[in-house]
Chains A and B, each alone.
Chain A
Amino acid sequence: MGTAREMPVNETASSVVSARRLGLTFETNDGPVHALSDVDLEVKRGDFVSFIGPSGCGKTTFLRVIADLEKATSGEITVNGMTPEEARKSRSYGYVFQAPALYPWRTIEKNVALPLEIMGYSKADRDGRIQRTLELVNLSGFGKKYPWQLSGGMQQRASIARALAFDADLLLMDEPFGALDEIVRDHLNEQLLKLWARTEKTICFVTHSIPEAVYLSTRIVVMSPRPGRVTDIIESTLPRERPLDIRETPEFLAIAHRVREGLRAGHSYEE
């Protein structure tokens, strides 16, 4: 695993995630599975990077390597100039899972307070942050409810608030809206963009929806399976301000087309 010393100084300054020839092989009873192979990627501060590809392409695995929930078996990766483990221990990212994973015995407020309690924030500081982040995800007034009293979309928003409550400028999101219906998803996508603009966080976002990736991202990383690798990295030419109907412009459709081409080149449509 790489260390900060090996990296050029000017690169660590603006680079939040930096991966070099990263590989991860799971040893299973049916032989080794190459989840990731030779992944090179730079994520710059303030980027919104989407990872797209069919299931099994390693996009979630890559996110979990950044989060130190999996260990890479080859290559180098740094997060905020540190090893992923150091980055995790210095609490430098917030992680949003596929499901809300809220604790049912805690109210929404208390769920948002969970990381703050663990990280030792003071009571007064906690209260202020809970209020601010719940406002940020439009859940003010629902703080006293229990998770099971809210809809799926609201629960996922609460889990985003929980990831935003502490001072991590990197947000890792693993198909956070995958389980929601399209209307709710559109709405949350729009809110997420506004939130990104207001908080100026760096976001890594895993999805399997082409429109979602194109609509949200400044960069789209197209991945392909067996072994999981990067086939294309697309810089978005869309403006940062994006109303929902931007998805019908020729520019948007051109980027979506390029993503689809990238997926096809990686044999993602073959089966």
Chain B
Amino acid sequence: MKLIRRSWQGALALLLCLAALPLLPLLGPDAATAAGNGVTVLIFALIVGAALVSFARLSAPILAAILFVGVYAAAWLLIGLLSGNEGHATSAFFPLIAASWLMAWRCVSALSAVETRSATTEALLRLLIPAIFGAWILILWEAVTRGAGVPFILLPPPSAIGERLASSVPILWADVRQTIFKAVLFGYIVGCAAGFVTAILADRIAFLRRGLLPIGNLASALPIVGVAPIMVMWFGFDWQSKAAVVIIMTFFPMLVNTVAGLSASGIMERDLMRSYASDYWQTLVKLRLPAAMPFIFNALKINSTLALIGAIVAEFFGTPIVGMGFRISTEIGRMNVDMVWAEIAVAALAGSVFYGLVSLGERITTFWHPSNRS
């Protein structure tokens, strides 16, 4: 066995360090504080050290641990240099950020290669790898916006967004309550339930099936932006008009999916029910609805994101002085871009939690489906 292995990320990182050397110092001449020689040497040492270690034939967990520590220390020092010196990073700064990002890549690929039989380690790895990945998106975002001095209005650094998020928790919470717990949740439940019940009625009554479904497809193409102001006219400025928009948005995906799901059971399975002289409702509850569950959950997942979009967009057209859509539209007008981003982050988080809960419900309910079997 050879003692070294190939590591193109390591090689490229070394080249980038080499390229950065003639471009030193790390901060421009008119920066408030100069980059100390000690810090610069330490950053180089960390990155070059990590790159060299990545060539060594070490076991994957040890390699990953060393890279993890080295890479984050380097990134921490690099971003630390920027405080007070925004926009003064020289072209030596960015090759070093890129080099440490490459080493983080190496770290993730070392972690991905770890083979484990323990379930907890497996679960830990499943969380750790995307966490490192996500952290690096934020680090690169932070380094680029602050290093190159991107105007705050265009793109604030994540640290500023985080600060704004932490300092306006009460406002954000009020917005979440108004938009998600009132408009989205009410509209989602009523819209999905109405779609489901209508699907069952359409299945039972041929007149509805032939008349309503084609019209349903037409109505599902309604542009939401056009409907929202009308709903505000009808149901007033408060959350009820937003819930109405959400109901309209979620109704048809549920209707169409449930109708498709109800015909998903096989001919043989239906013949079986017929041979038992099973009545309509028994067949529905014991065969057709369970078989339709994957379709119904598909609609629930689509609707979980549609509902959030619908409620936020509908708030652009008139709302009391609270709500996520209201906050986004007013704060952008006041140039408080960090607040807009904080609101976006909260919406993304809420949407992910919502989607995650529905997916969890799906895994529990349709464990038998070939795509979920364990």
List chain A positions with a Cβ less than 8 A from chain B.
67-69, 88-91, 93-95, 97-99, 101, 103-105, 114-115, 117-119, 146, 148
Q: Is the CB of B271 within 8 A of A97?
A: yes
Q: Is the CB of A91 within 8 A of B368?
A: no
A-B pairs, top 3 by smallest CB distance, nearest first, are A104-B368, A105-B368, A95-B275
State whether the Cβ of B200 lies closer than 8 Å to any Cβ in chain A.
Answer: no
Of residues 239 to 279 in B, which have CB atoms within 8 Å of A's CB atoms? Answer: 266, 268-269, 271-278
Point out the residues of chain A lying under 8 angstroms from B373, CB to CB: 148
Q: Give the CA-CA distance A88 to B271 in the complex, in Å.
A: 12
Shortest CB distance A129–B (Å): 14
Q: Is the CB of A114 within 8 A of B286?
A: yes
State whether the Cβ of B369 lies closer than 8 Å to any Cβ in chain A.
Answer: yes
Taken residue by residue from 360 to 374, chain B's Cβ proximity to chain A (1 for < 8 Å, 0 otherwise) reads as 000000111110010
A selection of 14 A-B contacts at a CB cut-off of 8 Å is A68-B274, A69-B275, A88-B274, A88-B277, A97-B272, A101-B268, A103-B269, A103-B286, A103-B287, A103-B290, A105-B293, A105-B366, A118-B286, A146-B368
Q: Is the CB of A101 within 8 A of B277?
A: no
Among candidates B266, B366, B369, residue contacting A101 with C-beta atoms closer than 8 Å: B266
Shortest CB distance B284–A (Å): 12
Q: Give the CA-CA distance A183 to B27 in the complex, in Å.
A: 80
Shortest CB distance A159–B (Å): 9
Q: Give the CA-CA distance A146 to B368 in the complex, in Å.
A: 8
Known contacts A91-B277, A93-B275: A117-B286 contact under CB 8 Å: yes
Q: Is the CB of B287 within 8 A of A119?
A: no
Q: Give the CA-CA distance A94 to B373 in the complex, in Å.
A: 30
Task: Find the B residue at minimum CB distance from A110.
Answer: B286
Interface band, chain B: 20 to 34
Chain B interface helix/strand/loop/mixed: helix
Q: Give the CA-CA distance A117 to B276 in the complex, in Å.
A: 10
Task: Find the A residue at minimum CB distance from B272.
Answer: A101
Known contacts A101-B268, A103-B269: A118-B290 contact under CB 8 Å: no
Taken residue by residue from 340 to 374, chain B's Cβ proximity to chain A (1 for < 8 Å, 0 otherwise) reads as 00000000000000000000000000111110010
Among candidates A99, A104, A115, A146, residue contacting B276 with C-beta atoms closer than 8 Å: A115
Most buried by A among B272, B278, B287: B272
Known contacts A69-B275, A103-B287, A119-B276: A97-B268 contact under CB 8 Å: yes
Point out the residues of chain B lying under 8 angstroms from A146, CB to CB: 368
Point out the residues of chain A lying under 8 angstroms from B286, CB to CB: 103, 114, 117-118
Known contacts A146-B368, A148-B368: A105-B276 contact under CB 8 Å: no
Q: Is the CB of A118 within 8 A of B276?
A: yes
Q: Give the CA-CA distance A90 to B275 in the complex, in Å.
A: 10
Q: Give the CA-CA distance A117 to B277 in the complex, in Å.
A: 12
Taken residue by residue from 311 to 350, chain B's Cβ proximity to chain A (1 for < 8 Å, 0 otherwise) reads as 0000000000000000000000000000000000000000
Among candidates B266, B278, B366, B367, residue contacting A118 with C-beta atoms closer than 8 Å: B278
Q: Is the CB of B275 within 8 A of A88?
A: yes
Most buried by A among B273, B277, B282, B286: B277
Task: Find the B residue at minimum CB distance from A94.
Answer: B275
Point out the residues of chain A lying under 8 angstroms from B287, CB to CB: 103
Q: Is the CB of B272 within 8 A of A95?
A: yes
Point out the residues of chain A lying under 8 angstroms from B274, CB to CB: 68-69, 88
Shortest CB distance A186–B (Å): 25
Task: Find the B residue at minimum CB distance from A146.
Answer: B368
Q: Give the CA-CA distance A101 to B272 in the complex, in Å.
A: 8
Task: Find the A residue at minimum CB distance from B365.
Answer: A105
Shortest CB distance B366–A (Å): 8
Known contacts A91-B277, A118-B278, A118-B286: A101-B269 contact under CB 8 Å: yes
